Amino acid sequence: MRIWRPFTVLLAVGGMLLHIPQVQRAKAQEGQFSVVVCMECHADRDLTGVDRKGNEISMFVDLRVFRTSVHRNMKCTSCHGGIDEIPHDEELPLVRCGACHDAENRDYLEGRHGAAFERGDPDAPACWDCHGKHDILPAQHPSSQVARANLTRVCLRCHVDEEITARHEEMPAPQTIKAYEKSVHGKGYFEKGLTVVAECVDCHSGHLTLPASDPRSRLYKVNVPETCGSCHRQIQQEYERSVHGEALRSGVLEAPACTDCHGEHDILPPSEEMSRVSPKNIPKTCSSCHDDVALAEKYQLPINRYRTYLESFHGVALKYGKTVVANCASCHGVHDILPSSDPRSKIHPDNRQKTCGQCHPGIGIKAALGKVHIEASPASSKGKYFVRKFYTWFISILMTLFVLYILIEMIGRIRHRRARGAAS
Amino acid sequence: MKPAETIERFNRNLRIQHFILMISMIMLSLTGLALKFHDTWLGRLLMAIEGGFGMRGIIHRTFALILIGLGVYHFYYILFRKEGHEEFLRIVPRGKDVRDFVQYLRFSILGKGEPPKAGKYDFRQKFQYWGVVAGFWVMVITGFVLWFESAAMAVLPKWFIDVTLVFHGYEGLLIFLVLFLYHLYNVHLNPDHFPMSRVWLDGKISLEQLKKEHPLEYEELFSGAPSSEEEREGGHRAQ
């Protein structure tokens, strides 16, 4: 941490306790120079200086733009400290927005962006990289860089920049981020111009950008349902009651949160074939856990559900593109999946007839209670097992006999020919 | 009566029946195997040729109906048409067929005695015919259970339908193998007829062949021997 001048610290503390206008008044007293004084030099369009990275940059300030900004009634020296005389030093202390915006600043510094900035990472975004500088507008203003309509584009400036991501191993690959553009959220944002869809900040937070591994992060697995639920409230409630929701809440991190089935940046609606939760892909998605031997052992999940489903008529039909047939979700439910022992479960014996009846109206209770997608072993399904065994043997023996028959037939022919040859 | 070079073994009616049976068997096999071997290259290839999963089912059921139609007609033909009835009596299995089979094995393997003398249908051909009849019933009954699965599930337990599906699949495979290996070898691919017997096309069989393969029928036709196999068996039965 840099050493703050005690006065500034005092002001910052005061800013928390007092109303902002008072802080502004107090701040304004720090700098003695009016905007007009500064503009004597900074109105010059050709004025240049050198920034911290050593690049030559324009030092021109457009007063007309500044006058439309949210800080229009503040003095230059309210933000730009260290100016005791005019002309001032070429190198001034960094603008510290946190002097007034303390809560945001603390979140920012705890987040990854702030931490990188503190490390002196030249790519790290500072306040003004997202919010703007002299043109800064309140977030509610439609033209603000951080207005909902614009903010995601601001994030993408860096996060799809291959040069920047190449320099930072900890940043996700641009493709990962770009997938958002094609997602149901991104399409709503980019194509439909919606501001109610999930944007970057809705899941990642604005200032407190924590890694998903941090338990305080909105992206931490246990917090994901809450994060998604801030828009998808009813689905969250449904999910919380499910076997998956309960498990995750009780700290079973292998239990799926929203993102495990739906994806993250690339979430697609189930109606799109490419979606992880489209009828065609659901079995594969569920199988990523339910076909996992280690998980099955650890939590005593029934094994081989995927393979036996794929071998069933439903599975075969689905594989060949018949999406009308039952997939996992058709019988087990979607967000409200419960074990068959739970009376609320769609596959509880009492509810089976209704569940199967969705597609097979009038199904009898005997059929509805039958076993589905299980291995045909002598213990579980005698009939299937023995018929299969019988035919396997029967066909094998018959085919062997057939080969034998041809042999016998050939011998017979030779004998016949010989016999006739002898007779004539 | 002067023997002609060839005589008609199958009349036009039988040839048409055979042709419809052949076409429906080929189509049912191809569409059925696509499903049976769905997870192999063969299944994927067949499924693609047949226009996808839905179309495969439609083709399969269409030819199933054609086959059933043929079965109904065949039933009518052997019960109510004189020629059909007479033909049917010739293919009914009799004790002689078992004896022929034993005699055939004795001759072929041990080289003892003579090859058996067959009538219009030898024991192999009878076996083939009755195999088709049995297969027809198994496939039609199990097929209907699977076709109207919702109705079936209203009254039958799930395991019954599961077993039915297994039955249908394996019985179909069995029929396919019997027809396309055993039948094709017996009738067409064996050294006497290779590459093909023409009987199914024009119904004609040469007298030479008739004498060799169906000597009793030859005798019956040209030397006034007892007019049918049934009569030959007659004495035996009376005892």
DSSP string, B55-117: HHHHHHHHHHHHHHHHHHHHHHHHHH-HHHHHHHHHHS--HHHHHHHHHHHIIIII--S-PPP
Q: A–B: how many Cβ contacts below 8 A?
A: 108
CA dist., res. A261 & res. A282, Å (int): 8
Q: Is B133 on the interface with A (CB under 8 A)?
A: no
The answer to whether A61 and A43 have CB atoms below 8 angstroms apart is yes
Residue A81 contacts by C-beta under 8 Å, 6 or more apart in sequence? A8, A30, A31, A92, A93, A95, A96
- Any domain includes B1: no
Are residues A402 and B189 in contact, defined by beta-carbon separation less than 8 angstroms? no
Do B156 and A366 make contact, defined as CB atoms within 8 angstroms? yes
CATH code, B10: 1.20.950.20
Contact A281, A321 (CB under 8 A): no
Residue B90 within any structural domain of the chain: yes
Q: Is the peptide bond before B191 cis (omega within 30 degrees of 0)?
A: no
Q: How far is CA A361 from CA B61, B147, B221, in A?
A: 22, 15, 61
Dist. CA A102–CA A108, nearest whole Å: 10
Rounded to the nearest angstrom, the gap between the alpha carbon of residue B218 and the centroid of all alpha carbons in its chain is 23
Q: Which of A184, A164, A188 is nearest to A174 (CA)?
A: A164
Evaluate whether A305 touches A287 at the Cβ level (below 8 Å). Answer: yes
A188 vs A194: CA distance, rounded Å: 5
Q: Residue B30 falls within a domain, yes or no?
A: yes
> Are residues B30 and B231 in contact, defined by beta-carbon separation less than 8 angstroms?
no
Name the domain count of chain B. 1
CB contact under 8 A, A367 and B115: no
Q: Which residue ranges in chain B fall short of pLDDT 50?
A: 1-3, 231, 233-239
User: Inter-chain contact B174–A361, Cβ cutoff 8 Å?
Assistant: no
pLDDT of residue A28: 43
Q: Which of A42, A98, A33, A32 is nearest to A65 (CA)?
A: A42
B10 located within any domain:
yes
Strand positions, DSSP E, A134-287: none
Distance from CA of B89 to the nearest CA of A (A): 27
pLDDT of residue A6: 53
Domain ranges for chain A:
1-100, 282-368, 383-413
Of B31, B35, B38, which to mutate for an interface test with A (greatest number of A Cβ within 10 Å)?
Answer: B38
Residue B158, chain A, CB below 8 Å: the answer is: yes
Pick from B52, B54, B154: CB nearest A364 = B154
Contact B159 A391 (CB under 8 A): no
Residue of B nearest to A380 (CA): B159
Instruction: Return the pLDDT at A31.
Output: 53
Q: A319, B38: Cβ pair inside 8 Å?
A: yes
Beta strands in A263-332 (DSSP E): none
Flag whether residue B104 sits within 8 Å of chain A, measured between CB atoms.
Answer: yes
- CA-nearest of B211, B235, B67, B234 to B144 is B67
Residue B163: which of A310, A384, A408 has the nearest Cβ? A384
For A361-380, b where at least 16 C-beta lie within 10 A, e where not — what string? eebbebbbebebbbbbeeee
3-state DSSP assignment of residue A147: coil
pLDDT at B94: 93
Could you tell me how far CA A2 lies from the centroid of its own chain?
A: 36
Domain that holds residue B58: 6-230
Could you tell me the mean pLDDT of each successive run of 10 residues in chain A, 424 residues long? 49 46 45 79 88 84 91 88 83 88 93 91 91 90 90 92 90 92 94 92 91 91 95 96 94 94 94 93 93 90 87 90 92 94 94 92 89 80 88 93 89 80 66
Q: How many residues does chain B have?
A: 239
Domain contains B146: yes
Distance CA A369, CA A81 (A): 77
